[in-house]
């Protein structure tokens, strides 16, 4: 697998307050909690619903526990009534934070507790989209098991399949195709997954595999970018003979 590099258009976001892949995760900032109000009075033999203050305290504890990957503390905060969908100052839920830290066990714990795999932060990253783009396959598979919308799109108007293909993540591409992500979706830049795999790939074995997977899944090799160039045109011009052969 080629060295991991950010999605091409992400270079403009390097100053955003989002943990970068490969960097030491920052602690989640303090959160402003808007707890969900109880909908009914508890029965005589049921535990009373937590108060708003208790929910706020539990939610703050949850963010702190997620930042530390403290699974026992996460479970305790959830049991105390923490709101899984509260956002931090960057719009991130605890699940999005765990995903961007590539903390698979924590992300899976949150998903199993009911966290929304499609909740997006301020830059339109959800756990599903980010895990797919970055090749975090354990988290990706868990989001799919828990009902992620596989047709959802990121801030570039692209599906998770497009950056996964750009990065040459063959196993991630295989997972996304099996989940039903549209193979010929065109993002706001005018690129499909196949076009990005060829435009930004280096023609190495992992990209040959990705192109083969996309073509096998029915990718239309005649789709051209905004300059009128198809993936085959670009591969041929770059001398990527194996990529051309993979397109049939």
Q: Can you give the three-state secondary structure of the chain, one letter per residue? A: CCCCCCCHHHHHHCCCCCCCCCCCCCCCCCCCCCCCCCCCCCCCCCCCCCCHHHHHHHHHHHHHHHHHCCHHHHHHHHHCCCCCCCCCCCCCCHHHHHHHCCCHHHHHHHHHCCCCCCCCCCCCCCHHHHHHHHCCHHHHHHHHHCCCCCCCCCCCCCCCHHHHHHCCCHHHHHHHHHHCCCCCCCCCCCCCHHHHHHHCCCCCHHHHHHHHHHHHCCCCCCCECCCCCEHHHHHHHCCCHHHHHHCC
Report the 10 Å Cβ neighbour count for 45: 5
Residue ranges per domain, the chain?
50-149, 157-248
Each residue of 92-123: pLDDT tens digit?
A: 999 999 999 999 999 999 999 999 999 999 99
| pLDDT tens over the chain, length 248 residues | 444 444 444 333 333 333 333 333 343 444 444 444 443 444 445 568 999 999 999 999 999 999 999 999 999 999 999 999 999 999 999 999 999 999 999 999 999 999 999 999 999 999 999 999 999 999 999 999 999 999 999 999 999 999 999 999 999 999 999 999 999 999 999 999 999 999 999 999 999 999 999 999 999 999 999 999 999 999 999 999 999 999 99
Rounded distance between C-alpha atoms, residue 245 and residue 242, angstroms: 5
- Ranges of beta strands (E only) in the chain are none
What's the number of CA atoms in the CB half-sphere (13 Å) around residue 126?
Answer: 24
Rounded Cα distance, 214 and 176, in Å:
11
Class of domain 50-149: mainly alpha
pLDDT at 99: 98
List the one residue out of 50, 51, 61 whose CA is nearest residue 84: 61
The tokens describing 211, both together, are 């192109």
Q: Name the phi and psi angles at 102, rounded to 5.
A: 55, 40
Burial of 114 (0-12, 13-18, 19+ CB in 10 A): exposed
Q: Distance (Å, rounded) from C-alpha 119 to C-alpha 99?
A: 12
Query: Residue 244: what pLDDT?
Result: 98
We find that the CATH architecture of domain 157-248 is Alpha Horseshoe (1.25)
Same fold yes or no, 50-149 and 157-248: yes
């Amino acid at each position: 697998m080629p060295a991991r590099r950010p999605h091409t258009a992400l270079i403009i976001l390097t100053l955003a307050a989002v943990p970068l892949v490969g960097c030491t995760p920052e602690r989640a900032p303090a959160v402003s909690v808007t707890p969900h109000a109880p909908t009914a009075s508890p029965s005589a033999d049921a535990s009373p619903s937590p108060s708003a203050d208790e929910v706020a305290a539990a939610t703050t504890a949850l963010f702190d526990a997620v930042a530390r990957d403290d699974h026992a503390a996460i479970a305790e905060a959830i049991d105390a009534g923490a709101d899984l969908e509260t956002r931090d100052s960057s719009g991130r839920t605890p699940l999005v934070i765990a995903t961007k830290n590539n903390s698979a066990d924590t992300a899976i714990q949150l998903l199993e507790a009911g966290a929304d795999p499609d909740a997006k932060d301020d830059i339109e990253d959800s756990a599903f989209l980010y895990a797919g783009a970055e090749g975090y396959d354990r988290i990706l598979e868990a989001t799919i098991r828990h009902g992620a919308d596989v047709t959802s799109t990121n801030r570039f108007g692209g599906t998770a399949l497009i950056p996964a293909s750009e990065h040459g993540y063959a196993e991630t591409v295989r997972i996304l195709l099996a989940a039903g992500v549209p193979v010929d979706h065109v993002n706001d830049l005018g690129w499909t997954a196949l076009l990005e795999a060829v435009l930004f790939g280096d023609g190495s074995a992992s990209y040959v595999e990705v192109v083969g997977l996309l073509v096998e899944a029915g990718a239309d090799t005649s789709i051209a970018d905004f300059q009128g160039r198809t993936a085959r045109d670009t591969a041929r011009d770059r001398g990527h003979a194996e990529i051309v052969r993979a397109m049939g």
